[in-house]
Structure 1
């Protein structure tokens, strides 16, 4: 079948919408008619090859849509089901068996390899030549995507929620919210500082509000994002360019430091600040992903004497089949209004969506597919 898909043909290149061929689903695979797909910072990281993946490739990993067809061994979904696509995993290693698929021992192969890990093939081609797909088990920057039974989450019970809105729950929204709810797990009445108020950081702010934190401090360079953080539950918002010392400012506002911090920017210097703002026995979660090989420096004795902890977090340590419905329930209850982060774009305008995201003008772009033109 022919589809329209946005292809990255060279390092740092444009997303070029082209006509490709897509395979029929194999026995454990699912063909999804994409309704919408979020644009995530990780897509741009791979475009620029800061995280290497083979080219040419179709990216996109926050897709939602309707199941069009399933392989013969698939039993969990059927054609017509509404689904959100999330990250992929082998479902067989120790961490997957322990309920932590975000730490799958073969996570990179299943999400960044650009091929089916089982046999090295790709479901996408162009004039008979292979185009790498299966990015995060989906490559959803296209009108259709091949996923697996493992990484599709049925959402049939939420028919009153626009399907295209739900895609970012598969990665960015899940990452920020899960970092707070699943990993940091702050006590009601505790304090937290969130560094970066993009879609991940703002999801963390909303989650901290859900958890009952009473001091929620957002740090961001952009006025509009700090304002949005305050609207979504932050009790204070700091512009790093407007204070002499971010760390000292937060310490002053929280009587010595916060109990929790979350770093979402991927900037090593900011990651250091996210540890320095902790009070004794505080915990910092690191979510932001800089280029491979990036390092941050910490005073070992400062960690040791104060009992501080640093924890790396992937995908909010979520089990998507359980956590995504939880987030939708919170949204319907008015406690997690992630729709306020979203700006919609036509799929053909993907380059504009990317530009607006990189400029900080849009928090979470979602590309809508027009299947009448597909």
Structure 2
């Protein structure tokens, strides 16, 4: 009898052990569509939509997926811009100036990250009177950042996330190299798109530097610089200029490098940099490389360095150079470079 009990106990223990390594049943897949939890007004031009879960990046960008409904007369108003935030479960939308009354926000065809579709949602809101403090975004350019085989005479389209102050935007918001911009800017009705007519210098690397200056209707300016590179040639030079900044142990902040042609001092490139960086697509020529930076503690001056470089790379298409910087008074830096540096270091965030 005792042996029987022992055998049964051993069998039971082995049975339990054999089940320990088995996998649990798989969790059921996510089949639930996302839900709109709330809509909050941020300021006079922005609404924030809160979702029950993370949504994909594409469906919130489609402007037709959002409509503002006036319940008194049934009229709808389109939104100007929409984008999911980094957290994934919120969407910030830009809206035109609305009257002081209750509206409904209609939301269509939003997918979560698993692809589940929310067909329609509706939330009421009342516009805010708070001043808009959100910087506009340059969300689209045509042509894009680089264009080869560009026509000599054509147009550039810029599209913004906010209605812009067309009266305050002009050619002084740009730095150009081998490209002429017509001073007549053509805006669309919502002031979110502007068309610029340009003319290039043939066979040159032409640059359009869009400075962080153009303001929206609330006075907020762009917080980034965008560079367009255009050429009538069918290729860009596959050259690279590698630069190392030589400095003491001080910590530099807001460091920018400026590459200018030695002959005419036109800008070939402008870039935020670290202690090592590279200039790309640089045609063989003689250049000035200028570096300007702030000191992390001392605000009485700026770090400055400049070097003249004959850039004629061999078959490797790459050249290594060094630029030494020293801490000097601001008035010793060329005025044009200093003014440009102030714009970049102040407005770019």
TM-score (normalised: structure 1): 0.25
Larger relative strand fraction: 2
Larger relative helix fraction: 1
TM-score (normalised: structure 2): 0.26
Higher relative contact order (CA 8 A, sep 6+): 1
